[in-house]
């Protein structure tokens, strides 16, 4: 890792801790104005919101557009290894020198303080800074299309200042209730906030409550609205969990809105090659080929439920008797409900003390507490590594090389 990326990581991590999450666009519009409103000069944008499957859907969209010969920018979050992963063109992360230059352009033009946590002046959050960097980068490079993934919710997300050609909404469920609300109506309304007047919107099949909210918001905005059909199968896909039928179907329907005469077979071939580490990724270690690790970023109750169902289907001889779940969960999540869905032993990892679930948490008897440095953390015939994407970014350094 270069010294520039090391410094960027330090600065952005500091900003995350000191400035938290800002689910409000009031200040952000001021930042945009100070930077010359770069979001108004972007190429054709696609906007993706939802609770489950946003990252996979973005990956499918990028693959499909690239297969048609277009250059494609993408802005996603969070990252696994490096902040640069969040800002890409044609699946290639932003170059370090571009990242460093644009990052400091943002800070200098906004006249923000880089180190004083006690500064009285309101400053942009980590996510707001990254969004501004992405806007300026894409303004410079002008890819043919740009796919934006919301960071949180939708209505007040920093990405929601763009004017997309189409909006896509993945499966909506329970997450970030402390910000988005304690009912599915509230959560769906926040996700539906990306819907723009007369802009086509496509959604996966939702819970009836969420479906009612989305269709109502679309109607109020005179936005053409449709529900995508899942693919019949993901046979031959790198992203092979059953849930990807839904995400790939959403991506296909989204692209079909832009290109009514799209070659669907060509898109499916592109989807099959799509890769996204940490979405039901299988690792067969070189040194112990009899062992299997599955890495999946299931970080809420519905995600864990789907993961358990997938594991029990794919490994009926190993789950639950010869299986262990290694989990790192943020302590603001419903971790008790999550672990209660698992019939196998659970090793709960306190990967970021004070933020992740620690050893003082009340958990069932089959849950044990660990640190990343525990030598036997990954022992077992079938090891399912799951939880926060931030946890996957930490544990990736301890995972064995794949065969």
CATH number of the domain to which 252 belongs: 3.40.1190.10
Are 116 and 29 in the same domain?
Answer: yes
**CATH number of the domain that 352 lies in?**
3.90.190.20
Residues 305 and 202 in one domain: no
User: Does residue 333 belong to any structural domain of this protein?
Assistant: yes
Instruction: Say yes or no: 25 and 123 in one domain.
Output: yes
Q: Looking at the domain assignment, is residue 261 inside a domain?
A: yes
User: Looking at the 3D structure of the chain, how many domains does it have?
Assistant: 2
Model pLDDT, residue 121 = 58
pLDDT of amino acid 1: 47
Of 60, 41, 42, nearest to 202 by C-alpha is 60
H-type alpha helices, 192-300: 208-220, 244-258, 264-273
**3-state DSSP assignment of residue 336:** helix
Last residue of a domain, one of 273, 304, 338: 273
Closest CA to 57 of 220, 285, 276, 363: 276
403 found inside a domain: no
By residue range, what is the domain housing residue 31? Answer: 3-273
289 shares a domain with 153: no
pLDDT score for 15 = 65
Q: Does residue 222 sit in the same domain as residue 345?
A: no
In a domain, 216, yes or no: yes
Residue with tokens 């939708």: 154
Please state, as a whole number, how many other Cβ atoms lie within 10 Å of the Cβ of residue 358: 15
Residues of the chain with pLDDT under 50: 1, 115, 117, 120
Is 266 in the same domain as 324? Answer: no
Q: H or E stretch including 389?
A: helix 389-395
Instruction: Look up the pTM and report it.
Output: 0.93
pLDDT at 220: 97
d(CA 356, CA 371): 11
CB-hemisphere CA count at 13 Å for 127? 21
Contacts by 285-291 with C-beta closer than 8 Å and gap 24+?
A: 285/400, 285/401, 285/402, 285/403, 286/400, 286/401, 286/402, 286/403, 287/400, 287/401, 288/400, 289/403, 290/381, 291/380, 291/381, 291/382, 291/383
Is 94 contained in some domain?
A: yes
Q: Are 397 and 377 in contact (CB under 8 A)?
A: no
CB atoms closer than 10 angstroms to residue 31: 22
Closest CA to 64 of 279, 231, 206: 231
């Amino acid at each position: 890792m270069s010294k520039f990326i090391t410094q960027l990581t330090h600065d952005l991590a500091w900003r995350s801790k000191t400035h938290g999450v800002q689910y409000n666009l009031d200040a952000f519009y001021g930042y945009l104005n100070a930077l010359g409103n770069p979001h108004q000069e972007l190429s054709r944008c696609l906007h993706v919101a939802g609770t489950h499957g946003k990252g996979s859907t973005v990956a499918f969209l990028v693959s499909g557009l690239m297969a048609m010969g277009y250059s494609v920018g993408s802005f996603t979050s969070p990252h696994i290894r490096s902040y640069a992963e969040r800002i890409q063109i044609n699946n290639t992360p932003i170059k370090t020198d571009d990242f460093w230059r644009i990052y400091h352009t943002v800070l200098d033009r906004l006249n923000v303080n880089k180190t004083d946590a006690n500064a009285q002046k309101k400053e942009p959050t980590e996510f707001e800074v990254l969004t501004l960097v992405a806007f300026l980068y894409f303004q410079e490079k002008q890819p043919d299309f740009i796919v934006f993934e919301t960071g949180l919710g939708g209505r007040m997300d920093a990405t929601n200042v763009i004017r997309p050609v189409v909006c896509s909404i993945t499966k909506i469920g329970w997450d970030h209730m402390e910000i988005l609300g304690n009912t599915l109506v509230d959560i769906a309304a926040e996700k539906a906030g990306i819907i723009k007047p007369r802009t086509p919107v496509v959604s996966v099949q939702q819970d009836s409550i969420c479906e009612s909210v989305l269709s109502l918001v679309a109607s109020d905005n005179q936005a053409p609205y449709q529900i995508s059909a899942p693919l019949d199968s993901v046979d031959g896909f790198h992203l092979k969990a059953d849930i990807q039928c839904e995400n790939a179907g959403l991506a296909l329907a989204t692209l079909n809105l832009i290109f009514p005469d799209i070659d669907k077979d060509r898109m499916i071939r592109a989807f099959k090659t799509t890769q996204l580490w940490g979405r039901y990724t299988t690792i067969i270690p070189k040194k112990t080929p009899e062992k299997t690790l599955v890495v999946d970023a299931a970080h809420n109750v519905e995600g864990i439920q789907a993961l358990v169902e997938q594991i029990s289907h794919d490994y009926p001889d190993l789950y639950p008797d010869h299986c262990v779940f290694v989990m790192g969960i943020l302590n603001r999540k419903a971790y008790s409900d999550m672990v209660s869905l698992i019939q196998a032993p659970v090793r709960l990892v306190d990967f970021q003390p004070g933020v992740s679930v620690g050893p003082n948490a009340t958990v069932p008897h089959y849950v044990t507490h660990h640190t990343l440095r525990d030598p036997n953390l990954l022992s077992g015939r079938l090891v399912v590594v799951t939880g926060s994407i931030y946890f996957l970014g930490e544990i990736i350094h301890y995972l064995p090389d794949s065969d």
